[in-house]
Amino acid sequence: MEKAKGLRRTLTGRVVSDKNDKTVTVVVIRRFRHPIYGKFVQKRKKYMAHDPKNECNVGDKITIEEHRPLSRKKRWIVREIVERAV
């Protein structure tokens, strides 16, 4: 039986860089309504994620999950590739 690891956040985003070994850079876009003006605003943030098999390519849509710190900037790990780039 697999040990429960607690609740971990998951995010979905696009791979923008795969130049590092076993690391991908993922941009996650949040879309929300501005509290005062009511206009929809997009915020984007980049995350470094661990890709142990070097499977991801630029343009892939992937799901990343919170993980223990793997390096100075890497705190996420690739869970699955949702959609391959064309």
pLDDT higher than 90, residue 81: yes
Q: Give yes or no for a contact between 72 and 21, defined as CB atoms under 8 angstroms apart.
A: no
> What is this structure's pTM?
0.85
Provide the mean pLDDT of the chain. 94
Q: What DSSP state is assigned to residue 59?
A: T
Provide the β-strand partners of residue 24: 49
Taking only Cα atoms into account, the Rg of the chain, rounded to an integer number of angstroms, comes to: 15
Q: At 54, list the tokens.
A: 């070097």
- What CATH number was assigned to the domain covering residues 10-83? 2.40.50.140
